[in-house]
């Protein structure tokens, strides 16, 4: 072999180095194109938005207050005004067993373990009005065969529980995207109560006789009755 001849291995290595350099150049060029494209989009006023799930997107669009507003006059008020049972009748039935009183007078969502919710009406004299807490209340007694049953009527502005939502036969958890929407509807119902009844609530006083209609829920017959009013006013016509 002549002295000036290159070894084959050295020539092959040079070719490899040349190929790698070319590949690196192409990769760098591609990266520069991507960056340049993104900058061009940004400069042109385009926004790069985060990807959200369908569930998150639905939750962002859902408004519980708007949902309740559409139902209030058309469906909620008619149920409470026209289908409420006398509270004396319901509480007397509960004293005989919730397993019988529930199916006869109440409504319970399909979910296992849900409480029975009742729509009731009555007339009573206010014993106490408590407004020291934001969860304000008035106390009344309801006569039954076994004696008077104390009932607490919620006057807010904080309303506890979801008896109003759960007592409505047209409200079903399956109609909502998730638990967050269902819970938001419960809060919206309670908020609507305090808005609708503010004037009537402000006028309540111990010794006053009132007409009322609303809802309460029970897990057992020994539970205390915590009523969420929908119609409320001086005796002679709940408003």
**Span 21-50, pLDDT tens digits:** 444 545 454 555 544 544 444 455 554 545
Taking CB atoms within 8 Å and a gap of at least 24, the contacts of 193-202 are 193/154, 193/156, 193/159, 193/164, 193/228, 193/229, 193/230, 194/155, 194/156, 194/157, 194/159, 196/72, 196/230, 197/155, 197/229, 197/232, 200/232, 200/233, 200/239, 201/136, 201/155, 201/156, 201/232
Structure confidence at residue 57 as a pLDDT band (50, 70, 90): low
The mean predicted confidence, pLDDT, of the chain is 83
Per-residue pLDDT tens over the stretch 151-192: 999 999 999 999 999 999 999 888 899 999 999 999 999 999
Name the more confident of 3 and 89.
89
What's the CA gap between 191 and 230, in Å, rounded? 11
Per-residue pLDDT tens over the stretch 114-128: 899 999 999 999 999
Structure confidence at residue 61 as a pLDDT band (50, 70, 90): confident
3-class SS of residue 105: helix
Cβ atoms of 181 and 59 closer than 8 Å: yes
What's the CA gap between 103 and 109, in Å, rounded? 12
Cβ atoms of 116 and 122 closer than 8 Å: no
Locus of tokens 């409420």? 84
Class at the top of the CATH hierarchy for domain 54-234: mainly beta
């Amino acid at each position: 072999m002549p002295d000036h001849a290159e070894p084959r291995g050295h020539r092959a290595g040079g070719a490899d180095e040349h190929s790698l350099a070319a590949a690196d150049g192409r990769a760098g060029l591609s990266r520069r194109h991507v960056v340049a494209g993104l900058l061009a989009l940004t400069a042109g006023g385009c926004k790069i938005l985060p990807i959200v799930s369908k569930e998150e997107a639905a939750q962002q669009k859902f408004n519980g207050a708007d949902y309740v507003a559409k139902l209030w006059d058309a469906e909620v008020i008619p149920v409470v005004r026209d289908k409420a049972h006398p509270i004396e009748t319901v509480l007397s039935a509960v004293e005989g067993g919730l397993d019988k009183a529930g199916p006869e007078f109440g409504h319970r969502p399909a979910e296992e373990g849900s409480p029975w919710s009742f729509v009731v009406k009555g007339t009573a004299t206010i014993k106490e009005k408590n407004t020291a807490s934001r969860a304000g209340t008035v106390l009344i007694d309801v006569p039954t065969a076994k004696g008077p049953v104390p009932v607490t009527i919620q006057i807010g502005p904080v309303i506890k529980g979801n008896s109003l939502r759960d007592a409505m036969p047209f409200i079903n958890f399956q109609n909502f995207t998730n638990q967050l929407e269902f819970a938001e509807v419960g809060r919206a119902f309670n908020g609507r109560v305090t808005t609708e009844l503010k004037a009537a609530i402000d006028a309540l006083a111990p010794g006053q006789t009132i007409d009322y209609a609303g809802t309460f829920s029970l897990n057992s017959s020994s539970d205390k009755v915590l009523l969420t009013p929908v119609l409320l006013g001086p005796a002679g016509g709940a408003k």
